[in-house]
Amino acid sequence: MKAIIEVENLSKQYRIGAREAPYDTLREALMRAIRTTFQRGQNNSGRDTIWALRSIAFQVMPGDVIGIIGHNGAGKSTLLKILSRVTEPTTGTVELYGRVGSLLEVGTGFHPELTGRENIYLNGAILGMKRSEIARKFDEIVAFAEVERFIDTPVKRYSSGMYQRLAFAVAAFLESEILLVDEVFAVGDASFQKKCLGKMRDVSACGRTVLFVSHKMAAIEALCNRCLLISQGRLVAAGDPSDIITRYLAGATNPDSASRDLLSHPGRRKDLTAVMRWIKLFSESKGASPLVRMGAPFSVRVTFQSDAKPIRPVLGLVIKNSYGMPLFGVSNRVITEYLPSETMSAGTVSCDFESLPLMPGTYYLDLYLGDEFEDYDRIYEAISFEVLPADIFGSGRLPPASDGPIFWHARWSFTRAPELTGASV
């Protein structure tokens, strides 16, 4: 099968402080000529230029859904702009074999003076679609964007939310063979993002080729069959999304974030005593780590010092998602076989999970420490940790992200249905 996108030795250089423009006014041309005269003989040595991309090469097959991840400034958006023909590469070639629809920045390609209706037809015409093809999709686009009342209003009068919804609908519904999407889940409210995710699933399921830039690792995991990792303008890894995301998150995490001084933590309840002094997180690695794979062991160690009196320490943990919603908690106050038999004034309490049942994402720990009757200290969002995707069930598949933040093992059994005899049972 022939690739639908072929990228070879692609590089892009920008001059710092310069703006890229396809056309110059006479004034701009004269000013550039004057600057060039004064700059002749200066040794710039490349200090006024930056390589946004260097020697990128990859192929995309028809029907692939490719996630592109990396830090801010890595070159992800520049890559999509080159693929969309918005900007030209400095070196290298890009071959695309199909119509390209793109949503690079929400509303890119819209003319502010034209109405929503006119912009839909304009974008379709740019894609090379016939008017009848655009008309066939028109009602779906307008319904998805929820702009029926304003479809004949110039888009410059739209709210940002209306603009976002219509721009995404145009990119997703018009029938391009290749769809390029940049950070669509970074805009709009939660319901709009959920709606976009559902439509992206539909687009990928119908066999269209998608290149998708996002910082939402869960969305990359849910939608993509391949992933590219770009760092400092270079393609450093490509392959299975789970593996590439794990590599990216491991490289992006500061090892020091696995431990934290709790004595002056801003999340402490002000009416309680500063008993908890330090926290460290452990998983499969020998040292402290804020990263834990799905289903892997996880340990939380809290150092405490009770100056008022010795205590039989009780440690409670509440695990919350990135929205601050509590998911579950544990405490040796209710699991009484883990209450220490002797009192102590200082020490370390360890809480160990044999298998952490959390889906990939960022989570926070609330802590409380006291004795078997009351809390002496409580800290909200004491520390965060990252759960990485893993093939926990050995099936090569992850539970759908839409199922929620927790996964669980279960058992199934099957019996043959009894033959129908007509007798009541």
pLDDT at 218 over 90: no
C-alpha 166/C-alpha 157 separation (Å) is 13
Dihedral sign of CA atoms 69, 180, 234, 21 in order:
negative
Q: What is the DSSP letter of 344?
A: B
Nearest to 156 by CA among 102, 118, 110: 110
Structural tokens at position 53 = 């991309």
Q: In what order do the strands lie in the sheet with 49-60?
A: 49-60, 5-15, 91-96
Q: E strand or H helix at 156, and its extent?
A: none
Mode of pairing for the β-strands spanning 346-353 and 361-370:
unpaired
Of 180-184, 224-228, 267-271, where does mean pLDDT reach its minimum?
180-184
Mode of pairing for the β-strands spanning 314-320 and 178-182:
unpaired
- Provide the 10 A C-beta neighbour count for residue 248: 22
Nearest to 387 by CA among 302, 316, 289: 289
C-alpha 146/C-alpha 142 separation (Å) is 6
Please state the rounded mean pLDDT for residues 363-369: 95
Highest-confidence segment of 116-125, 173-182, 227-236: 227-236
Structural tokens at position 36 = 């060039």
- C-beta separation of 87 from 180 below 8 A: no
C-alpha 337/C-alpha 61 separation (Å) is 57
pLDDT in tens, 127-147: 777 889 889 989 999 998 888
pLDDT in tens, 170-217: 877 877 888 888 876 555 566 777 777 778 778 877 888 999 888 777
For residue 40, name the pLDDT band (cuts at 50, 70, 90): very low
Task: Report the chain's mean pLDDT, rounded to a whole number.
Answer: 84
CA distances from 135 to 3, 67, 189 (A): 30, 31, 29
Q: Is 121 exposed, middle or buried (0-12, 13-18, 19+ CB in 10 A)?
A: middle
Q: E strand or H helix at 35, and its extent?
A: helix 26-39
For 412, residues 6+ apart whose C-beta sits below 8 A from its C-beta are none
pLDDT at 424 over 70: no
pTM score above 0.95 = no
Ordered by where they begin, the domains of the chain are: 5-252 (3.40.50.300), 255-403 (2.70.50.60)
Report pLDDT for 47.
60
Structural tokens at position 377 = 């200290």
Q: Which residue has the higher pLDDT, 218 or 65?
A: 65
